[in-house]
Amino acid sequence: MTDDQRWQAVAANDRRFDGVFFYGVTSTGVFCRPSCPSRPPRRDRVQFFPSAGEAMAAGFRPCKRCRPDLAAFTPGRDIAGEAMGLLHRHFRDMAALTAGLDGLGLSRRRLTELFRQAYGTTPGACLTALRLSEACRLLRLTDLSVAHVAGEAGFESLSAFYRAFRRELGCSPGTYRTKEMSP
């Protein structure tokens, strides 16, 4: 690979070249992966290295954004995983869920992007699926009223519960319970 090809990969933030080479920026003393989201440096201030070790040996320190010193650094996937854990733990408690998601330090839009990349769905859709799963379990295993099941599953209103239930399962909660109880 030529230096011009390497530079094109850096300018394009091309993830395919992560681990193939690293680049150091002489003005900052930092080295990065080709996919680093930081602002691209001037071409005349860049040196290329075949490994992170060689970049460090040349006196460069690892970038704090792309962490080229770590073999597997996937902050987006890690944050999406934390969000998924929060959804599973707090799907019944909207206040705790909101506080936990706010604690991740991302905007809702950015969190949704990362979550969709990692899981192929949105946090809202996942939350609804978790709540519906719990509602179905409660409808099958208890004789709680439909309104009580909605509250226990984390739905904030009965109308939202009915809408989600009909949209996802194609029937009302009462019909679902009757179907599940019949032999």
**Active-site residue, from 36, 126, 136, 171:** 36
DSSP 35-100: T--SPPPPGGGEEEESSHHHHHHTT-EE-TTT-TTSSS--HHHHHHHHHHHHHHHHTT-HHHHHHH
**Active-site residue, from 63, 126, 136, 171:** 63
**Active-site residue, from 32, 126, 136, 171:** 32
Residue whose tokens read 């071409």 = 43
Phi, psi of 110 (to 5 degrees): -65, -40
List the beta bridge partners of residue 122. Answer: none
Alpha-carbon dihedral 124, 126, 127, 132, rounded to 10 degrees: 130
Q: Is 130 left (phi over 0), alpha (psi -120 to 50) or beta?
A: alpha
Say whether 36 is catalytic.
Answer: yes
- DSSP code of residue 179: H
Say whether 136 is catalytic.
Answer: no
**Active-site residue, from 66, 126, 136, 171:** 66
Say whether 66 is catalytic.
Answer: yes
Say whether 63 is catalytic.
Answer: yes
Q: Kindly list the catalytic residues.
A: 32, 36, 63, 66
